[in-house]
């Protein structure tokens, strides 16, 4: 009897936990993508890299994301006068199930900024 009353709530908690774990996993993937793109753009590994652009380097870790995330690369100079490259990666996450009060999609984005090697 008690299980019949609690089962819908327990299933809701289970689905929310699964989606939270998926958001965390995909956030880590996007952070890795941004870091790889910034590393390529910093000219530290350009000579040994198999990639031809920061966007291509950033998307190398995003093979499990469909559709591919959006990669934006910007360059500039910081307050100390050092050149930097900033790579931002954005992707739209969709939940497993749709429940009232729980968002059906979440826009995830991560960025990484590195100094450019001289």
Domain count of the fold of the chain: 1
Count Cβ atoms within 10 A of the Cβ of residue 86 and give its class: 0-12 exposed, 13-18 middle, 19 or more buried: middle
Please give the Cα distance from 35 to 62 (Å, whole number). 12
Q: For 16-63, write each residue's pLDDT tens digit.
A: 899 899 999 999 999 999 999 999 999 887 778 899 999 999 999 999
pTM: 0.87
pLDDT at 1 over 90: no
Domain that holds residue 94: 2-115
What is the rounded average pLDDT for all residues in the chain? Answer: 91
């Amino acid at each position: 009897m008690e299980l019949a009353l609690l089962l819908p709530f327990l299933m809701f908690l289970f689905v929310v936990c699964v989606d939270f774990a998926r958001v965390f996993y995909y956030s880590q993937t996007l952070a890795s993508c941004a870091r790889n793109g910034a590393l390529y753009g910093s000219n530290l590994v350009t000579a040994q890299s198999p990639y031809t652009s920061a966007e291509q380097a950033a998307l190398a870790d995003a093979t499990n994301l469909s559709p591919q995330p959006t990669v934006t690369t910007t360059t500039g100079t910081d307050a100390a006068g050092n050149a930097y490259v900033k790579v931002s990666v954005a992707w739209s996450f969709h939940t497993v199930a749709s429940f009232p009060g729980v968002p059906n999609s979440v826009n995830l984005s991560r960025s990484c900024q590195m100094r450019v090697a001289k």
